[in-house]
Structure 1
């Protein structure tokens, strides 16, 4: 299965967000947005005690993707990611976003806000391999895993595009997901087909085959994005550190 750097930096790399704007523009927007949010809480002592003064640290970086992703360690266990990585990509058209959340990367939720505020498109590419060790004979004709005890997590493959024209609440123009949830595979197909899609694949019997990582790559490449190619990212990047006291943190090598 295609992954970023062979899953060495999972779960950080289980979801990547790309915004169609230069690194400098997104850095300025994200920094000002964070400062505004913190400024609103400056008169609330309990918030300042937790989050500290209304500042956000901006650290320019220049390195390969492995070293850049390593700067997000240790990971945050709480509801808020304390670090966000903005990485320039090949050609400079798209900027990639990753964060330090261990369980549920928040960057996919932020892409709609960025699309609206910056007046540009965003792309969300998600992939999480289904647990290894689940044999082919344990899958029925509909792609359902029969041995639930073998599951150590949930597989998902996703592709979505946000656009200001799509409107609130989330500004999703197109959304595709093949996800294992509640002991069964589910497929989401929202929005109009785009000219580079393969709609016939969405009729395949096995749900995991309808949206494979290979298909996500093909769709992303049609937009000028090469998500699984480590050379596509960097070397210029920015690390944003929010002045928040983490709920709890765990080194990446101790995360399941």
Structure 2
């Protein structure tokens, strides 16, 4: 009579290859693309991911059975080698990772769906087989079951059964029409989301993640891997055989292996395939950014920022700045000579503005910092005589005293002068009219100390100063040589080497 099976063993028998390739097969991802298309998409993501190996990424096509192709993921350990597999559903490609623990498969968590318009599914089914030991940490895994699906519009469905002693069940997203939602109301969490329910939902999505014959109908798979060669003391330098990765987890007869002596001896450091079919460079980390209605305008604004900057420059969307009446907020950072960069957070209000407004703001954001050629706003920061003239001009317009600090007014006008000195840009009546229209209809009830419009630095008065600039910047009142006077810098943030200045203050 065969030995009695535990619940964990019974569940493992229902999983892919009977659980023999766990932990690799505990988590399986799917992309709604053919194998060749999915390989290109994953490789492009890797090139822009937080993995940035100097040697780049290798891509190699392999042929074989499912078990043979899973073997191409060895050694296990650091999660920078991915296996993409063809399935019997030509619309879907499976993805697995060479981790010895829970696979992350980061781009399936919203990136491909939101950024590239690729629906994704991720399934996880891990048997609970915890065994407490008297003289060592507990062996086994806590168990859990998860289904996560993303569509082009974002998260579609999330079902999760997890063991926090006791078991708990949670769900999110919009149920599919074929789901039995009444099951989720059962009092016992283990009954809410059993393995059979996960299988049924996947079947309705066109997937059979736990069936061996669902994979590699033509024996094809691709390995994409980081060509990183870690030093001996880095986490990525540990190389586990499948048996070493399972010891103390799936294999309860042996203690956990922290120093994989067999794997380290068997496998070389770095790439498992020293001669990949193709090598692609790491192109720099590009953080995940969901698609928005302003993407094209943001791209154009970033090009404008780069056009006026003598340092590497970028732009990003920030909807929160609008609460403070700010069009854009630039940041200059430097870790030393040669590492300077400028980034500008920009609001939807500005991205929806006329092109002239975006262009002027881009120049203003960049040119307030000392340029690589040494030019600086300090050339134009008013001296005492000029400050007196400016105050008199504001008073003639009924706008003195200022509604911000004098230093902010003088610095704003100096930056405007800097923009005019190095570009052909000017504040025009059209820009003033656009700003005026943008602030109409502001709520009468103010809930934030920054809600009041900043009139002293509005484009209307700045255009008046621009039209009368010869009365301010002329040899009779300004006999300074360039570079002599130092402008008070923008307020320093809590991060050393990083200054911040808000610009274009107005409330929509």
For Structure 1 versus Structure 2, the TM-score category normalised by the shorter chain is 0.7 to 0.9
| Off by >4 Å, runs of 4+ in structure 1 | none
The CA RMSD over aligned residues, in Å, is 2.2
Asked whether 1:223 is paired with 2:205, we answer yes
Q: Aligned partners of 2:80 and 2:111: how far apart in 1?
A: 18
Q: Which has the higher relative contact order, 1 or 2, with Cα contacts under 8 A spaced 6 or more apart?
A: 1
2:187 to 205, 224, 228: 205
State the shift of 1:121 in Å.
1.2
Asked whether 1:177 is paired with 2:177, we answer no
Contact 2:45–2:107 (8 Å) recurs in 1: no
Q: Aligned partners of 1:91 and 1:161: how far apart in 2?
A: 17
Structure 2, unmatched stretches of 5+, are: 1-10, 231-235, 248-508
2:221 to 232, 237, 254: 237
What do residues 180-225 of structure 1 show as CA deviations (whole Å, max 9, x unaligned)? 12x2212111012211111121122221221111111100000110
Q: How does 1:76-115 map to 2 (within 5 A)?
A: 76=77, 78=78, 81-107=79-105, 109-111=106-108, 112-115=110-113
1:20 to 16, 24, 32: 32
What do residues 227-254 of structure 1 show as CA deviations (whole Å, max 9, x unaligned)? 1111111121101111223242211101
Partner SS for 1:215: helix
Relative to 1, partners in 2 of residues 1:176 and 1:36: Cα closer, same or farther, differing over 3 Å? closer
Q: Aligned partners of 2:47 and 2:204: how far apart in 1?
A: 36
What do residues 50-84 of structure 1 show as CA deviations (whole Å, max 9, x unaligned)? x332x2111101222111111112211x4xx1210
Q: Aligned partners of 1:34 and 1:159: how far apart in 2?
A: 24
What do residues 157-195 of structure 1 show as CA deviations (whole Å, max 9, x unaligned)? 1112111202xxxxx2110000112x2212111012211
TM-score of the pair, normalised by structure 1 = 0.80
Q: Aligned partners of 2:193 and 2:214: how far apart in 1?
A: 22
TM-score of the pair, normalised by structure 2 = 0.41
Contact 2:85–2:221 (8 Å) recurs in 1: yes
Q: Aligned partners of 2:130 and 2:166: how far apart in 1?
A: 17
Q: How does 1:1-256 map to 2 (within 5 A)?
A: 1=11, 2-37=14-49, 51-53=53-55, 55-76=56-77, 78=78, 81-107=79-105, 109-111=106-108, 112-131=110-129, 152-166=140-154, 172-181=155-164, 183-234=165-216, 235-244=219-228, 245=230, 246-255=236-245, 256=247
State the shift of 1:150 in Å.
7.8
State the shift of 1:151 in Å.
7.0
Contact 2:150–2:156 (8 Å) recurs in 1: yes
